[in-house]
């Protein structure tokens, strides 16, 4: 049975534009570390009426949460598309780590939203943490990683990744690819891979990163 197409009228499109404008403004404020702004400042930045805010969000906190969620959704879709061609879970982890580290140079504003969310970003049910946890568990089950509490492994790898992204943000002239691959190698070694295997997974060619 064929599903009926969704018909979006002018009102729906206008509502979507307003919502996206609010989310865009929120992402910009979050990327600048400015979460203490008022709703008026947000609607001004989004170029929408103040009253329009409450047609889409109950509070500033809800808006900011949705803004972070939207960033993680973009990240997740991009990451999942990139690693879909790999079967080895250890390689999936390595490619994911290397590609995520390179995002700081490609889309720094999005990365700053993640950085300004702090370590709590690793406790969310979407985005980086659940995918890393799944990859680590799969690599352990395949005998590619040594056994380790998966939650501790996620926080360790995630903390290293966030620290690396913060370093790259602070050092725009640094060789990002070299630093990211070096950190990937250290993570793989920490998870029990041999030096040779870790070097191979942290230095091989990467698929083309999609334009965002």
Give the chain's domains with CATH numbers: 10-59 (1.10.10.60), 64-203 (1.10.357.10)
Q: State how far the Cα of 29 lies from the Cα of 87, in Å rounded to an integer.
A: 39
pLDDT for position 14: 84
pLDDT for position 204: 87
User: Taking a C-beta distance cutoff of 8 angstroms, is the pair 99, 60 a contact?
Assistant: no
Report the Cα–Cα distance between both ends of the chain, in Å, rounded: 35
> Which pair of tokens denotes residue 117?
């969310």
Q: State how far the Cα of 117 lies from the Cα of 60, in Å rounded to an integer.
A: 15
Percent residues over pLDDT 70 in the chain: 95
User: Taking a C-beta distance cutoff of 8 angstroms, is the pair 48, 22 a contact?
Assistant: yes
pLDDT tens figures, 24-58: 999 999 999 998 999 999 999 999 999 899 999 99
Q: What is the pTM of this model?
A: 0.87
pLDDT tens figures, 199-209: 999 998 998 87
């Amino acid at each position: 049975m064929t599903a009926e197409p969704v018909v979006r009228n002018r009102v729906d499109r206008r509502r979507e534009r307003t919502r996206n404008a609010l989310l865009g403004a929120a992402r910009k404020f979050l990327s600048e570390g400015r979460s203490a702004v008022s709703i008026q400042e947000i609607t001004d930045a989004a170029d929408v009426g103040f009253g329009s805010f409450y047609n889409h969000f109950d509070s500033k906190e809800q808006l900011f949460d949705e803004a972070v969620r939207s960033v993680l959704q973009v990240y997740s879709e991009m990451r999942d598309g990139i690693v879909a061609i790999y079967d080895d879970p250890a390689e999936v982890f390595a490619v994911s780590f290397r590609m995520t580290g390179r995002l700081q140079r490609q889309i720094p504003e999005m990365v700053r939203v993640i950085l300004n969310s702090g370590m709590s970003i690793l406790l969310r049910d979407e985005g980086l943490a659940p995918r890393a946890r799944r990859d680590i568990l799969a690599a352990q089950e395949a005998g590619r990683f040594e056994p380790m509490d998966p939650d501790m492994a996620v926080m360790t790898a995630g903390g290293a990744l966030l620290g690396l992204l913060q370093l790259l943000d602070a050092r725009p002239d640094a060789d990002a690819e070299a630093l990211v691959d070096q950190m990937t190698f250290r993570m793989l070694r920490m998870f029990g891979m041999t030096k040779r295997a870790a070097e191979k997974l942290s230095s091989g060619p990467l698929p083309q990163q999609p334009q965002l």
